[in-house]
Amino acid sequence: MSQLLSINNLSVQFNTEGGLIKAVRGVSFAIQAGETVAIVGESGAGKSQVFHALMGLLPGNGKAQGEVDFFGQSILNQPARALNKIRGKDIGMIFQDPMTALNPYLRIGAQLVEVLMVHKQMSKREARKIAIDMLERVHIKQARQRIDSYPHELSGGMRQRVAIAMALLCQPRLIIADEPTTALDVTVQTEIIRLLKEIHDTLNTSMALITHDLPLVAGLCERVIVMYAGHIVETGSVDDIFYRAAHPYTQALLAATPSAALLNKARLDEPGDDKNQGKRRLQAIDGQPPDPLNLPAGCAFHPRCAYADKPCFSQEPDLQQLASGKQVACWHSLEQVQS
Amino acid sequence: MTSTDTSPKHADTVAKGLSPWQLALRRLARNKAATFSIYLLLAIIIVCIVGPAISPWELDAVDWDHIGAAPDLVSKHYFGTDANGRDLFVRTLQGGRISLMVGLLATAVSFIIGIAYGAIAGYAGGKTDALMMRFVDILYALPFMFFVILLTVYFGRSIWLIFIAIGAVEWLTMARIVRGQALSIKQRSFVEAAKVTGASHSAIIKRHIIPNTLGPVIVYATLTVPQVILFESFLSFLGLGVQEPMTSWGVLIAEGAAQMESAPWMLLFPAAFLAVTLFCLNFIGDGLRDALDPKDR
Residues of A in contact with B19 (CB under 8 A): 105, 107, 150
Distance (Å, whole) CA B190 – CA B207: 11
ipTM of this predicted structure = 0.75
Residue from B9, B186, B190, B217 whose CB has the most chain A CBs within 10 Å, to mutate: B190
* Domain ranges across chain A: 3-221, 248-338
Chain B residues near residue A96 by CB distance under 8 angstroms: 189
pLDDT tens per residue across span A233-262: 889 888 888 888 888 888 888 887 776 555
- In chain B, the residue whose alpha carbon lies closest to the alpha carbon of A81 is B200
Kindly identify which residue of chain A lies nearest to residue B187, measuring between CA atoms.
Answer: A59
Topology (CATH) of A3-221:
Rossmann fold (3.40.50)
CB contact under 8 A, A145 and B16: yes
Mean pLDDT to the nearest integer, A147-154: 86
**Are A118 and B197 a contacting pair at CB < 8 A?**
yes
- Summarised one tens digit per residue, pLDDT across range B129-168 is 889 999 999 888 888 778 778 887 888 777 777 777 788 7
Whole-number Å distance between alpha carbons of B221 and A278: 65
Which residues of chain B make contact with A80, given a CB cutoff of 8 A? 195, 200-201
- Chain B CB within 8 Å of residue A56 CB: yes
A105 and B19: CB-CB below 8 Å? Answer: yes
Residue B297 has pLDDT above 60, yes or no: no
Cβ-defined contacts of B240-244 (< 8 Å, 24+): B240/B148, B240/B149, B240/B152, B240/B157, B241/B157, B241/B162, B242/B98, B242/B157, B242/B159, B242/B162, B243/B157, B243/B158, B243/B159
Across the interface, whether the CB atoms of B198 and A55 are under 8 A apart is answered no
Q: Which residues of B touch A89 (CB under 8 A)?
A: 198
What is the tens place of the pLDDT at every residue in A76-117?
888 888 888 888 888 888 888 888 888 888 888 888 888 888
Which residue from B20, B196, B212 is facing A152, i.e. has the nearest CB? B20
Q: Which residues of A touch B184 (CB under 8 A)?
A: none
How confident is the prediction for chain A on average, in pLDDT?
A: 82
Q: Per the CB < 8 Å rule, is B201 touching A80?
A: yes
Radius of gyration of chain A (CA): 21
Name which of A105, A148, A161 to mutate to probe chain B: the one with the most chain B Cβ atoms within 10 A of its Cβ.
Answer: A105
Distance CA B36, CA B38 (A): 5
The span from the first CA to the last CA of chain A, in angstroms, equals 35
Residue B290 or B119, more confident: B119
State pLDDT tens for residues B172-211.
888 999 999 888 888 888 888 888 888 888 888 888 888 8
